[in-house]
Chains A and B, each alone.
Chain A
């Protein structure tokens, strides 16, 4: 997902009886479906976890601009260029909403950027894969935004108010993202032999990385149990992955594409598809910095940040001068 492998306190979930009255009131509010707001008391672990999770999610939105930005200047028609620009602009906006939500927890956007640039904060593994043909713009919208939606829709009900409200705004835009991706795929699959080949190749390369977005199975994880008790994680990784596969396989069939998993089979008993797990060694390699694009993505961000320093400083200096002039005039 856009936030993967978020470690919570890891001590296991406390029962209400083990909590002091303040924490107990906090937990009961969450259990009752109430929202926690920035000024409310919250356990240090909740705050820390949320900063990591929302921050990682925000970083994913902005790093996620890069693989798609890679094709804006090569979009095949004016309309495709406009749609892709609008989509990538939305992602930057998502980043902005999320950084603002994280800032309510007592961290600044600049601190988060620095943590990202120094490798102390992560972003989703999916954005470390390259976009090699135009069909990848289709596959990213269809699969990557599709997987993101799986996770973000339930997060609209997350316990932290600013995060939940950011998710509501984001979800409104995500369905457009997925639709434009699927629409690209439809055109490619109805197109020339070369276009069909591109479409299949894109699915081949993005299928397993998309499944990895949900993270490894966490059904037994204490971290995950705590996050779920706090309602900052709404479903297990496996639940979401299953839902994604069940939604996507028929769409691939509709497109006339073959999902690159020979073991995929409908399972009547569970009412879903059986499918092969992705290669988790590859996933951990990518997280460790060894994905095909980790280095380039981070370098691009760092370069942008460093190159932009004089601009940010210039703007701040001008704003300060204006304030001084205003005070002097009063």
Chain B
């Protein structure tokens, strides 16, 4: 296992939470109900907190005198390693909560495995994060069920969201050289091994939500390798990184 691979692996963790946390934070003040507003802000807050830990560790591993903030604010699109699904736009509450659920179910399985990592620092971050992820998953699953099973309108909107997001789920379970190295040294699970737990949870919840899982398992990919992000990420970065880019070196 080399440091460059560990660095890539940590970017994948940290960029997922950074990008999704950012997306969720776009809801501030605009959610369908006050309780949802608070819950979304809470999720965003947890994810940004996790980002600080993952990217903080990534920066140490890289040893190039960069901080977590440098990694978040000064990398361009091709250096981001998040899956495509989390950079997808919010569209509406249905898409937001469906994306959240599909991610939470994965995140929960991933963090559970990571809490047994052979790297004590990763195990520690994961153990802390998995408590938050458990709560996120309970809440997003509950909301998906309620809206899937709610009115005809809410059902149709949730089905639509699922259909649109499904092709972005497969990337979560892709493996490459980096994953093989991590798995071999017991640092992180091979993502493919998380699929069964995820499938079980997702099928169970979506059936309670009376939603149909699309049959086509085609998967868009290119986010976690950085090979090809969506057009959306660049726009997100123009906001997220604007102050740091406009006033280089300033202390905030």
Task: Give the interface of A toward B (CB within 8 A).
Answer: 62, 65-66, 69, 72-82, 85-86, 88-89, 92-93, 95-96, 99, 109, 134, 184, 187-188, 190-192, 194-195, 300, 303-304, 307-319, 321
B46 to chain A, nearest CB (A): 10
Binds A, one of B37-45, B109-117, B123-131, B194-202: B37-45
Q: Are A311 and B147 in contact (CB under 8 A)?
A: yes
- B234 in the interface, Cβ–Cβ < 8 Å? no
- B174 in the interface, Cβ–Cβ < 8 Å? no
Q: Are B72 and A96 in contact (CB under 8 A)?
A: no
Q: Are B41 and A88 in contact (CB under 8 A)?
A: yes
**Would A96 and B34 be within 8 Å (CB), given that A77-B69, A81-B48, A85-B28 are in contact?**
yes
**Would A78 and B247 be within 8 Å (CB), given that A72-B28, A96-B35, A314-B150 are in contact?**
no
Q: Are A187 and B251 in contact (CB under 8 A)?
A: yes
Choose among A66, A134, A311 the residue that contacts B29 (Cβ–Cβ < 8 A).
A66
Query: Mind listing 12 A-B residue pairs with CB under 8 Å?
Result: A65-B29, A66-B29, A85-B25, A88-B28, A92-B29, A92-B37, A96-B35, A187-B251, A188-B252, A303-B30, A317-B149, A318-B149
Q: How far is A314 from B72 in the complex, measured between Cα atoms in Å?
A: 37
B27 to chain A, nearest CB (A): 9
Residues of A within 8 A of B240 (CB): 73-74
A299 to chain B, nearest CB (A): 11
9 smallest beta-carbon distances between A and B, as pairs: A308-B32, A314-B150, A314-B154, A65-B29, A69-B28, A89-B41, A311-B32, A76-B252, A318-B146
Q: How far is A300 from B27 in the complex, measured between Cα atoms in Å?
A: 11
- B22 in the interface, Cβ–Cβ < 8 Å? yes
Q: Are A300 and B38 in contact (CB under 8 A)?
A: no
What is the interface residue range for chain B against chain A? 35 or more
Interface residues of B in 131-183 (CB under 8 A from A): 143, 145-147, 149-151, 153-155, 157
Residues of A within 8 A of B37 (CB): 65, 92
Residue of B94, B149, B150, B240 contacting most chain A CB atoms (<10 Å): B150
A309's nearest neighbour on chain B, judged by CB, is B32
Q: Are B33 and A308 in contact (CB under 8 A)?
A: yes
A89's nearest neighbour on chain B, judged by CB, is B41
Q: Are A92 and B41 in contact (CB under 8 A)?
A: yes
A88's nearest neighbour on chain B, judged by CB, is B28
Residue of A195, A315, A316 contacting most chain B CB atoms (<10 Å): A315
Q: How far is A200 from B181 in the complex, measured between Cα atoms in Å?
A: 53
Task: Give the interface of B toward A (CB within 8 A).
Answer: 18, 22, 25-26, 28-38, 41-42, 44-45, 48-49, 51-52, 55, 68-69, 72-73, 92-94, 143, 145-147, 149-151, 153-155, 157, 239-240, 242-244, 247, 249-252
Residues of B within 8 A of A78 (CB): 18, 48, 51-52, 55, 68-69, 72
A134's nearest neighbour on chain B, judged by CB, is B243
Choose among A96, A300, A303, A310 the residue that contacts B157 (Cβ–Cβ < 8 A).
A310
Q: Are B41 and A85 in contact (CB under 8 A)?
A: yes
Q: How far is A300 from B29 in the complex, measured between Cα atoms in Å?
A: 9
B152 to chain A, nearest CB (A): 9
**Would A76 and B243 be within 8 Å (CB), given that A82-B48, A192-B250, A315-B150 are in contact?**
yes
**Would A318 and B145 be within 8 Å (CB), given that A195-B247, A307-B32 are in contact?**
yes
A153 to chain B, nearest CB (A): 24
Q: Beyond A79-B69, A313-B150: 9 further Cβ-contacts under 8 Å?
A: A73-B240, A74-B242, A78-B51, A78-B55, A88-B28, A99-B34, A310-B157, A311-B93, A312-B33
Residues of B within 8 A of A303 (CB): 30
Q: How far is A184 from B146 in the complex, measured between Cα atoms in Å?
A: 41
Q: How far is A86 from B42 in the complex, measured between Cα atoms in Å?
A: 8
B74 to chain A, nearest CB (A): 11
Choose among A79, A86, A313 the residue that contacts B153 (Cβ–Cβ < 8 A).
A313
Q: Are B36 and A311 in contact (CB under 8 A)?
A: yes
Q: How far is A190 from B252 in the complex, measured between Cα atoms in Å?
A: 10
Residues of B within 8 A of A304 (CB): 29-32
Q: How far is A196 from B160 in the complex, measured between Cα atoms in Å?
A: 49
Q: How far is A311 from B150 in the complex, measured between Cα atoms in Å?
A: 9
Q: Are A311 and B33 in contact (CB under 8 A)?
A: yes
